[in-house]
Amino acid sequence: MAQPEKSPSPPPPVPTPLTPGPRATAFTTLYSKTLTATLNAISYDAFAACFPEIARKAPGALRVFHGQFLGRLEGLAVEEFNTILTERNVVSNLNKLESIISSARYLKTTADSSSTTTTSQPPPPPHTLPPSALLTAHLKPHLAAQQSHLNAKLQTVESMNATLADEIEGQKKEIERLMRGLGGLVGDLEDASVEVGGRGQELAGEGRGVEGLLG
């Protein structure tokens, strides 16, 4: 007798991304505001000043290009920032830092409260303490070490963010330099067109003179 086929096992649940805590949210918000301020500094007027002829003859096309340029630059910056967040586990580390700081504050508050109420009393024997107090006392050195480690990582991330901002500023200056060069090239082409046009009229006059002599 044939056995019934087994139903396939359900697929594993899709992992959900970490929810940013207060510090992670503040960090990403700060970057977003900084990037927006940097992009807003590249106004259309400043952009059009690099292409005076194009701005005069085709302002609509130049305005569209300006918007596309800013969008592409913003996309590259956000993509690079998200890559750094993923590679460095920034959100996870900041959430751990949040937890460590909360635990440290709780331990400090508990210690201060205990010192004010039991100043004249000897500390209780360890075997009389509840498990939560023993666990807290055991984890306190580890939490302090983790806090120092995460602080160092946070400083590294902040340094990388500053480096990224410098790179974006450098790319902006390089783009402005290329735009100025392109504007100069457009001017040279216009001058060459005028010169060729004048020379063409001169050659045409000489040709008509030769035809008159031959005729």
pLDDT band at 17 (very low <50, low <70, confident <90, very high): low
pLDDT of residue 187 exceeding 70: no
| Backbone φ, ψ for residue 21 (5° rounding) | -85, -170
More confident of the two residues 182 and 49: 49
- Tokens representing 211 are 């035809």
In percent, how much of the chain has pLDDT > 90?
14
Report yes or no: 50 and 179 within 8 Å, Cβ to Cβ: yes
More confident of the two residues 104 and 115: 104
pLDDT score recorded for residue 15: 41
Give the burial string for 111-144 (b: 16+ CB within 10 Å, else e): eeeeeeeeeeeeeeeeeeeeeeeeebeeeeeebe
Cα–Cα–Cα angle for 175, 160, 44, rounded to 5 degrees: 30
Q: Which residues contact 98 (CB under 8 A, 6 or more apart)?
A: 21, 22, 23, 24
- The CA dihedral of 114, 120, 121, 122, to the nearest 10 degrees, is 100
Q: Which residue has the tokens 């400043």?
A: 46
pLDDT band at 115 (very low <50, low <70, confident <90, very high): low
Mean pLDDT over 54-76 rounds to 91
pLDDT band at 89 (very low <50, low <70, confident <90, very high): confident
pLDDT score recorded for residue 207: 57
pLDDT score recorded for residue 14: 39
Alpha-helix runs per DSSP H in the chain: 22-40, 44-49, 52-57, 59-87, 90-117, 131-214
pLDDT band at 203 (very low <50, low <70, confident <90, very high): low
- pLDDT tens per residue across span 153-175: 778 777 777 777 777 777 777 77
pLDDT of residue 107 exceeding 50: yes
pTM here is 0.44
pLDDT of residue 119 exceeding 70: no
Other CB atoms within 10 Å distance of the CB of residue 189: 11
DSSP secondary structure string for all residues of 137-196: HHHHHHHHHHHHHHHHHHHHHHHHHHHHHHHHHHHHHHHHHHHHHHHHHHHHHHHHHHHH
Closest by CA position to 46, among listed 134, 172, 205, 140? 172
Closest by CA position to 97, among listed 143, 160, 139, 31? 143
pLDDT band at 124 (very low <50, low <70, confident <90, very high): low
Mean pLDDT over 18-43 rounds to 88
